[in-house]
Amino acid sequence: MPDSIENLSQEEIEKNKTDIHQAQKFYEETKVDLLAVAIGSMRGMEERVIDLDIELLEKINKTLSIPLVLHGASGVKWESIQEAIQHGICKVNIASTFDESFVQAIRNDLSQNPDEINFRKIFKLAKDAVKNTACDVFNKLGSSNRH
């Protein structure tokens, strides 16, 4: 596997997708509570351009019957994530989406207030931006008001 997962080619992504038999063996040996699966996502992306391999996800879900995790979802189309949730994904990791929101808020504030030195004020704006992004994500993924 390459040193930097962010620079994988489509061929490498395909080659590194979850093997159902290996996943089943891993589960049987470890009895993990959740399993992160490789179904086409890639971490660190700035654009939502990826469609997940839902067919593979369905097979994994039927074989293992445990909650599944999607890493690197910041580059995945919202519709594809929503479909993946319908087929066993119970946890979606999208750190880059929140990173971008946080950093962009800081950039915007400093461009408008270049002399600002109070990091608490700047960070509050950035934290509020992440909170707003999280609320937007929860709505898109159907997680609002669910316990």
Identify whether residues 131 and 70 lie together within a single domain.
Answer: no
Query: Helix (H, G, I), strand (E, B), or coil: what is residue 51?
Result: coil
Q: Please, are residues 70 and 57 in contact by the beta-carbon 8 Å criterion?
A: no
pLDDT of residue 2: 42
Which amino acid makes up residue 46? E
How many CB atoms within 10 Å of residue 4? 9
Same domain, 84 and 102: no
pTM value? 0.80
Task: Read off the pLDDT of residues 15-59 as tens digits, 9 standing for 90 and up.
Answer: 889 999 999 999 999 999 999 999 988 777 777 788 999 999 999
Residues 55 and 6 in one domain: yes
Query: Residue 102 is part of which domain span?
Result: 95-147
| Same domain, residue pair 50 and 118 | no
Question: End of a domain among 74, 93, 112?
Answer: 93
Cα–Cα distance, 71 to 95 (Å, whole number): 9
